Structure 1
Amino acid sequence: MQYEVIVVGGSYAGLAAAMPLARARRRVLVIDAGRPRNRYAAHSHGFFGMDGWTPAEMLEEARYQLSTYPSVEQLPGQVQQARAHGEGFALTLADGRELGAQRLILATGVSDELPAIPGLRERWGRSVVHCPYCHGYEFERGALGVLATQATSMHQALLVPDWGPTTYFSQGAFEPDAEQTQRLAARGVAIERSRVVEVVGPDDGLTGVRLEDGRELALAGLFVAPSTRPADTLAEQLGCAYDEGPWGPLLRVDEFKRTTVAGVYAAGDASSAMASVSLAVAAGTLAGVGAHQSLLGF
């Protein structure tokens, strides 16, 4: 079946990409595997009009609003293969169906790779988080930690004190130099060099971390910058170029979210190091506008 645009990924960027195309009365299909990156979070914060909603509520409302446009279809499913076909593209779904489109928008996101520390993943998105702007306020200025996972963790440690007294856990790998030590001290950040070996607390809550020297430090929240990888291989199959981002590879896009393959657009966390609902929606909108204008020959 042929569509003008297929959007792969029906989270914030993908649904936002479909909206301008729907309003231009273009025939659009959104295919979604149902695994939004923030599905572990109890609530989402910082997006005007929906601050404090659950991720599921936000997506349900967005899907409903998009469904009121008759030229748009939404399909649950997993795309396994993508290739150029004629003047457009062909997609193969996990159930064997084949679909075609003149343009593709990839909004499939990334997968987070966390350190292998007991208790960490179980609390991911709740009391173990990555973004102080998204989650910091809810810790009520309690004691906070930053777990070093890479060099960019230093930037995180300098940000977090605005949300509570902060300890930087260097983990024996990302030791601050003299200048960084001075900057951390100016922000009131304590440096802890004994490794975190376990995250502790009831259920998915957090009471603190256990260190390799046997001590336990009380914390209200722990910030971690995970490494990321593309959630699927579709862009690679199509031949799209990647650049190395601060946490993992990112699809190379221009201001209208065009990838290096003509007719293929990308939006959301797969192509941006800055991750938030607001930024994903903005990027998706630009991708939708870019795809529409390309159909007009712009």
Structure 2
Amino acid sequence: MLQRLQARDVVVESSPVLQVHGEETNITAVELQDGRRIPLDAIFAVATMTPHDSYLQHLRLERNETPMGSFLAVDQMFRTSHPRIWAAGNVVNPGANVPLSISSGNFAGAAANAALTEQEFDRAVASSQQRT
């Protein structure tokens, strides 16, 4: 990515920005941690997407490495690599806003319910076969 930007004469500064100078929407410069002050009239900043899923780390669930970060891998039913864990929203999709997270959470809940219902039916069938 860096090579592509540089090929288009885009300057990428890796030193953290300490202060943005200017008034209101009129940006005039940034002061960098390394002491340089760079005049400019626009800034493009990239956030690092970090899902708050560290409490699941010990489960060693599969992850998808994306250009936007590392997120839980799920199938079309939002099931993770663990057969009894479903995940939805922005822990699986870095671009998920609130409505999309609500929708995928609703679908994941329905999928989990269906899996539990299927498990109950399987147990009932096994129990009835033992009685005969």
Q: Into which bin does the TM-score normalised by the smaller protein fall? A: 0.5 to 0.7
Q: Does 1:241 align with 2:72?
A: no
Per chain length, whose mean CA-contact separation is higher, i.e. which structure has more relative contact order (CA < 8 Å, sep 6+)? 1
The residue that corresponds to 1:131 in the other structure is: none
- Between the aligned partners of 1:239 and 1:288, the Cα distance in structure 2 is 22
Q: Which amino acid aligns with 2:46?
A: A
Of all paired residues, the percent bearing the same amino acid is 23
Closer, same or farther: CA 199–286 of 1 in aligned 2, 3 Å: farther
- Identify, as 1 or 2, the structure richer in strand: 1
Separation in 2, partners of 1:201, 1:214: 9
Structure 1 contact 251–266 (Cα < 8 Å) conserved: yes
Unaligned runs of 5+ in 2: 120-132
Q: Write the distance in 1 (CA, Å) between the matches of 2:68 and 2:38.
A: 30
Per the normalisation by structure 2, the TM-score is 0.64
Contact persistence 2:20–2:31 (CA under 8 A): no
| Alignment match, 2:20 | 200
1:289 partnered with 2:115? no
> In structure 2, how many angstroms separate the alpha carbons of the residues matched to 1:194 and 1:277?
31
Q: 1:244 to 1:194 in 2, by over 3 A?
A: closer
The one-character-per-residue Cα deviations of 1:217-238 (angstroms, maximum 9, x if unpaired) are 234xx44332233424222223
Distance (Å, rounded) in 1 between the aligned partners of 2:99 and 2:85:
22
TM-score using structure 1 length? 0.32
Higher helix share: 2
Give the structure with higher Rg (CA): 2
Residue aligning to 1:218: 41
Check whether the contact 1:257–1:287 (CA below 8 A) recurs between aligned residues. yes
2:4 aligned partner: 176
Preserved contact between residue 194 and residue 211 of structure 1 (Cα < 8 Å): no
Q: Report the AA paired with residue 241 of structure 1.
A: E
Structure 1: runs of 5 or more not aligned: 1-150, 152-173, 182-190
1:280 aligns with 2:101: yes
- In the alignment, the residues of structure 1 paired with residue 117 and residue 62 of structure 2 have an alpha-carbon distance, to the nearest angstrom, of 25
> Quick one: distance in 1 between partners of 2:12 and 2:71?
33
